[in-house]
Amino acid sequence: MNGIIPLYKERGLTSFDCVAKLRHILQTKKVGHSGTLDPSVDGVLPICIGSATKVVPYLMASGKVYRGSVTLGLATTTEDLDGDVVERQPLERPFTADQVAAAAQALTGTIQQTPPMYSAVKVNGRKLYEYARAGETVERSPRTITVDRFDLQGAGTFDATAGTQTIDFEIACSKGTYVRTLAVDLGQQLGVPAVMATLTRLKSGGFTLSQTVTLADVEAAMADDQIERILRPIDYALQDYPHVALDEHLWVLVKNGVFLSAAELNQATEPELALTYQGETKCLYHWSDEKKQYRPLKMFAVN
């Protein structure tokens, strides 16, 4: 059993919970997810089965789109509503749509972001959330991320009694982006504490929310011996690569790791190529400027 399942992860489950449940449903150990979602976040979680686990890095490298909301006027330990409130600064009046839009614009483009303490990033061999749960704070190196767009839906809703303002947003960003940290950074741009209130992943690995299936759907498909209608091919993770179909002679060479010239593949030295045989993507080859050849980068199947 090989392929990709565009799973809808429900709130309340960890990404590993989903992997564990699918291992049980599918009766296979070779299952991996392509990008952690916090328990309080729902949405698209591509799951790779069998040899498709080899394309996990390529799924993770794709951009992601999220929809959610940020609440201004308070902060928590975890940067979302799962944590303990550590600061309150009641707003006397709401920020205008122009003010919040300008703050979001300042967080758009290629920026530096410091991973939150409640995250799985490792420092000195330990995950940051392990330090956080022990009440410790450690220095974290900032990462370069890209926020393609940070769209806010107007000025949102102002709660005069609580002194908070909640604004809906949609974000398109690169891998490694912590959206809850962006919510906190939005507050910092406005000079107030902030917290991510809700979050749904709309797109990941080329899959959209409308393409997802639930754990119950997978279980039903297995019971009806129809799992193939849910599994997507490995090639779904490689759609952005130029594809070259191999004849039998070239396939024999490729599956033995032979280097190939640009002429043999009828290419003008594209940086990377997805090579297919009989309609199935078998591997990625990359161009070596030094050797003037295509060389194996990643093999997905050799038969």
Q: What is the pLDDT of residues 106-135, one digit of tens each?
A: 999 999 998 888 887 888 888 888 888 888
Q: What is the pLDDT of residues 10-69, one digit of tens each?
A: 999 999 999 999 999 999 999 988 878 889 999 999 999 988 888 888 888 888 999 999
Show the 3-state SS of 87-110: EECCCCCCCCHHHHHHHHHCCCEE
Pairing of strands 122-123, 126-127: antiparallel
| Whether residue 38 lies in the annotated active site | yes
Q: Select from 212, 205, 198 the least CA-distant residue to 238.
A: 205
Per-residue pLDDT of the chain (303 residues; tens, 9 = 90+): 889 999 999 999 999 999 999 999 999 999 988 878 889 999 999 999 988 888 888 888 888 999 999 999 999 999 999 999 999 999 999 999 999 999 999 999 999 998 888 887 888 888 888 888 888 888 888 999 999 999 998 889 999 999 999 999 999 999 889 999 999 999 999 999 999 999 999 999 889 999 999 999 999 999 999 999 999 988 888 888 899 999 999 999 998 889 999 999 888 778 999 999 998 889 999 999 888 999 999 988 777
Q: Please pick, among 38, 80, 185, 235, the residue that the annotation labels catalytic.
A: 38
Q: In this structure, what token pair is assigned to residue 212?
A: 């997802």
